[in-house]
Amino acid sequence: MILFDNNTFHITNGKISYIFKILRNEHLGQLYFGKAIKHRNSFDHLLVEKATNLAPAVFQGDLDFSLEVLKQEYPSYGTGDFRDPAIQITQPNGSSITDLIYKSHVITKGKSSIKGLPSTYGDNVETLEITLYDVLIDVKVILKYSIFEAGLIRSAEIYNLGTNPIKIDRVMSASLDLYDADFEMITLNGAWGRERHIQTQKIVKGIQSISSARGASSAMHNPFIALKRPYTTEQTGEVYGFSLIYSGNFLAQVQVDAYDVSRVLIGINPFEFEWNLNQGESFHTPEAVLIYSDEGLNGMSQNFHNLFRNNLMRSPYKQKARPILINNWEATYFDFTEDSILEIAKTAKNVGVELFVLDDGWFGNRNNDTSSLGDWSVNLKKLPSGIKGLAEKINNLGLDFGLWFEPEMVNEISNLYKTHPDYVISTPARKKSYGRNQYVLDFSRDEVVNCIFEKMYETLSIANISYIKWDMNRNITEAYSCSLDHSHQKEFFHRYILGVYSLYEKLIDRFPNILFESCSAGGARFDPGLLYYAPQAWTSDNTDAVERLHIQYGTSMLYPIASMGTHVAAVPNHQVDRCTSLKMRADVAYFGTFGYELDLNKISTDELGQIEKQIMFFKEHRELIQLGDFYRLQSGNYYSWMVVSNDRKTAILGYYKILAHPNPSLKKIKLVGLDKNSEYKINTFINQKLFTKHYGDELMNCGLILETEFTGLMQAENFTGKYTPGTDKGDFTSQIYILTAE
Ligand code: GLA
């Protein structure tokens, strides 16, 4: 519901209220964002006008009304607010001051999409569009707010109505001034192989920010920040979450001012960004997501999960359980033949796998990473039946077939580079940097995107392909496009990502039923922007079960379980050389899309039998796991998380121990999300042993007491001298508990 009274907007979905008003100077002032409060015809008392002599005043003799201290809705710099602005526009005379005043607004049911950008949608949504206008430069800014059940979406659109050209230097998707600074900021940081580890830090006066200038959202920082109260836990307390539906360079920052107002800004990174607008042209920002919860970090995460599943992903798979796949990358790397692929596929089919994915190395002359990217035609030496023939053979085994592409890239050793060296991103007369021996194609140019579409289309139109893994294995350097004149070069990064989105659009339009999985050297472009096109993403190249606990725990902060690519791989693990049991590897991978990435013909019959059981288990429970409500419970040396079905009749708990300690303390976990009056039978997987039986209220308030781990003494008595993987003893153990209401 969106209400307008006494010059004040109150946006609410019954759970949150977002309130701001037209101030005396006709700018917009922020009043409140938080738990829903009753509507009243005036919230003026929330507007605290109080400044000091030093603060610039808007009206003569009225020292209290100063933009320096007022909480703003979409601030600009230069007329009294000295904090970082949401918008900055350079005009022909060199000035970048704007004076955006309220003109009009409209409230509508529904929500429109944004041309060329991913955007949220839904039936049950209301939208407010407020027009601000700067009369001196004839520029209009429309602020857009759409309220969904799970949260608020914001964006801005800038129009140049005047005859003079203008240049946008900075345009944030959202800006929010919060009353105080008693927050800790959560960010998801990392690098290749260790993406989205949670970092929490107390915010302090000044600016704290994360950003990307790599041309992609990146493994280093995810386009997300949360501000939580110091006392907020996974299950209780206040938290604000902000994310950006965008896959390119972003900025997310918090600035605490002298009066402890915390200003949050999120949008396209202004560093290396400019956008020119001539008369009649407009620019639309990506959408920002604003979530508030007073039910802890899980409350925030569930709102993100629901919003992304219901109102962002478009794929026909968005509400469906995902196929269990096997990918040959870690099994073969580049070294495979049609026969070896079919051998893996046959065994996979026998144990219950549903989709075979052929990874890198099937095209051109690619036997290592130095050649052939850009030449998307099959290598008949490796695959004599071609992709069409191989797909048929895989289909005849009873499996769907999926294929790897890296559409944005080219190797120097390739036909594409020979014919079109100009398609590569490079700065004239400067050396080009390599990344994994490859260059990035200039996707800011339509002809380059069309050329790659045609090449992909040749294969996709003849072979029965149900899945595409879209990879992207390096970042952009020497950013420059030969198609742009000097005054438009800083538009490049945004134009590049628009090109990526346009290729996704073209492919989806032509092949609407293909399941896309995005990937970027693992999870280096795992962002909400790509979820719009690809409902799942390869979470990390790191397939080690212990490492995956940290990565998946962090990723679940905002991404739904069904969007996380999770595979069981071989041991010793290829990234960290660690050995974990097959059981633990699966127990971690169940909480995702689930699949395998190893040569099933190189493991023992006993292990193959275990895999068959794992797949049976997963098929039985995947709807619950992928579509239920996910809760993180604990992290550290012991991890646990659980999913609960929408009707609360079933739940699955994953419990993981990293290192064993002698004489450990009692292990008791408080479960969440259950029905307090139902009695739950609790079984362990795989042996289906009845572990215990308790009412929901006891499990949630008193907790579930887990099987006692061995003490040093017991171990001495029972010590067999043999390593038994998959038991509770030793390092790296796990247990899955299935709860069923009687
Ligand atoms: C990236 C991906 C891997 C694999 C390789 C192939 O690193 O993350 O999963 O597809 O590329 O080259």
- pLDDT single digits (tens) 187-210: 999 999 999 999 999 999 999 999
CA distance 1 to 633: 33
Residue whose CA lies nearest to ligand 1 atom number 1: 521
The H-or-E segment that residue 496 falls in is: helix 492-510
**Catalytic site residue from 359, 541, 544, 599:** 541
Atom of ligand 1 nearest to the CA of 359: 10
Residue whose CA lies nearest to ligand 1 atom number 12: 360
For residue 664, whether the previous peptide bond is cis, meaning omega lies within 30 degrees of 0, is: no
180 catalytically annotated: no
pLDDT at site 685: 74
234, 639, 672, 676 from 634: Cα distances, Å: 8, 5, 12, 21
Residue whose CA lies nearest to ligand 1 atom number 7: 521
471 catalytically annotated: yes
CA of 433 to the centre of ligand 1 (A): 20
What are 63-118's pLDDT values in tens digits?
Answer: 899 999 999 999 999 999 999 999 999 999 999 999 999 999 999 999 999 999 99
Convert 107-159 into a string of H (helix), E (strand) and C (coil).
EEECCCCCCCCCCCCCCCCEEEEEEEEECCCCEEEEEEEEECCCCEEEEEEEE
**Catalytic site residue from 471, 587, 599, 629:** 471
Structure-model confidence comparison of residues 677 and 690, the more confident one: 677
pLDDT at site 49: 83
- Give the binding-site residues of ligand 1, using a 6 Å CB cut-off: 329, 359-360, 404, 471, 473, 519, 521-522, 538, 541
Look at residue 713 and tell me whether its pLDDT is greater than 80. no
CA of 516 to the centre of ligand 1 (A): 15
What are 415-470's pLDDT values in tens digits?
Answer: 999 999 999 999 999 999 999 999 999 999 999 999 999 999 999 999 999 999 99
Out of 471, 516, 566, mutate this one to test ligand 1's pocket (max ligand atoms within 8 Å of CB): namely: 471
CA of 116 to the centre of ligand 1 (A): 27
Look at residue 691 and tell me whether its pLDDT is greater than 80. no
Structure-model confidence comparison of residues 162 and 714, the more confident one: 162
Q: How confident is the model at residue 273 (pLDDT cuts 50, 70, 90)?
A: very high
Residue whose CA lies nearest to ligand 1 atom number 6: 360
DSSP for 605-651? HHHHHHHHHHHHHHHHHHHHHHHSEEEEEE-SSEEEEEEE-TTSSEE
CA of 215 to the centre of ligand 1 (A): 19
Look at residue 157 and tell me whether its pLDDT is greater than 70. yes
- What pTM, to 2 d.p., does this model score? 0.97
Q: How confident is the model at residue 50 (pLDDT cuts 50, 70, 90)?
A: confident
CA of 323 to the centre of ligand 1 (A): 20
